Structure 1
Amino acid sequence: MSYPFEYGDETLWEAGYHGGQLYHALAQGAAGFLGVPSGLTPTPQGSCSVDGEVFQVFVQRLYELYTSSSNEVLRELGHGLLVTSLVLLDRTGGRIAVRPEDTAALDEARAALARTMAS
C-alpha cells in the first residue's frame, strides 16, 4: 500500500503508506508551528495533493527556521523534514533561496535522499 504525493497529473513521490502519512503529519505540524499552510492536502483517493506555490512558501519558512536556530535539537528535528521537502519541491520545479554556505550540504543531502524516494 502506498501514499503518493501528486502535483497535477504527476506523482512526485510514491511513498510507502506509513512513511507518507508520517511525512504529511510532520509537515502539517511544522506548518502549524510556522503559521503557514503546508500546501499538502489529502485526497479521497488516498494520496496527497501538492500545491506547488503554497508548498514553496512552507519549505522556505522551514529552511529559515532551520538556519536561524542554534538549537541543535531543533535543527536535527527539522533536518529530515526539510530535506524531504526539498526533494518534493525540486520535483515540482520550485526553488527556495538558500544561503551560499548551506547550498553544498543541502544539495548533497537532497540528492542522496532523492535516490531513495521513488516517483
Structure 2
Amino acid sequence: MSQYYQARDIVLWNPSSGVSRVFRAQVRLFEDELSLASGVGPMEVDECEVDVEQFGTFAAALLTYRGTSNHQILRAMMDGFVITVLALAERAGVEVRPSGLVGRQHDVQAGSGQAPSVETEDDLRQRAHAMLRFMPR
C-alpha cells in the first residue's frame, strides 16, 4: 500500500503507508513546535493535498528553527525530516529560504565537549536533491 502527496495535479511523492505515517507524525510534531500549519492536508482515501504556498512557509520556518539552535542532538534528530521537506519543496517548485518567523536562539547545547561537525544548510539542500531519486511519484 502507498499514499499520495500531491499539489493540485502534480504528484509530489508516493511513499509506502508506513513511511507516510512517520512523515505525517513528524509534520504534526513540527506544526506544534513552530505553531504553524504545514499545508499538508488530511490523508483521505490514501491521498493528501499539499498547499504549496503554506508548505513553503512551513519549510522556511523549519529551516530557520533548525538553524537557530546549536544543539547537536536536536539537529541530528531533525535532519532527516528537514531533508525530506526540502526535497518535497524542490519537487513542488518552492524556493525555501530561512525565515524570520522563528529567529531567536533556542535549545542551546550545554557542556564543554566539542560536538562533531554539523551539516550546513547547503549540505542539507544537496542531500535533499539527491534524495529525490528515492522518492517515488
Structure 2 length-normalised TM: 0.79
Q: Secondary structure at the match of 2:30?
A: helix
What's the C-alpha RMSD, in Å, of the aligned pairs?
A: 1.5
The corresponding residue for 1:6 is 6
1:46-85 paired onto structure 2 within 5 Å: 46-85=46-85
The corresponding residue for 1:110 is 128
The structural deviation recorded for 1:96 is 1.3
2:32 is matched by which residue type in structure 1? G
Stretches of structure 1 that go unaligned for 5 or more consecutive residues are none
**Is the CA contact (8 Å cut-off) linking 1:62 and 1:78 kept in structure 2?**
no
Structure showing greater radius of gyration is 2
The structural deviation recorded for 1:117 is 0.5
The structural deviation recorded for 1:103 is 4.8
The corresponding residue for 2:44 is 44
- Aligned equivalents of 1:11, 1:71: Cα separation in 2: 35
Name the one with the larger helix percent: 1
Per-residue CA deviations over 1:24-49 (Å, capped at 9, x if unaligned) read: 11011111110100110124222211
1:115 is matched by which residue type in structure 2? R
Count how many residue pairs are aligned between Structure 1 and Structure 2: 117
- Aligned equivalents of 1:91, 1:47: Cα separation in 2: 17
**Is the CA contact (8 Å cut-off) linking 2:3 and 2:20 kept in structure 1?**
yes
Structure 1 length-normalised TM: 0.91
**Is the CA contact (8 Å cut-off) linking 2:79 and 2:124 kept in structure 1?**
no
Stretches of structure 2 that go unaligned for 5 or more consecutive residues are 99-118
1:117 is matched by which residue type in structure 2? M
Per-residue CA deviations over 1:71-105 (Å, capped at 9, x if unaligned) read: 0111011111110000111111101125xx94531
**Is the CA contact (8 Å cut-off) linking 2:15 and 2:135 kept in structure 1?**
yes
- Aligned equivalents of 1:31, 1:12: Cα separation in 2: 20
Question: Sequence identity, in percent?
Answer: 26
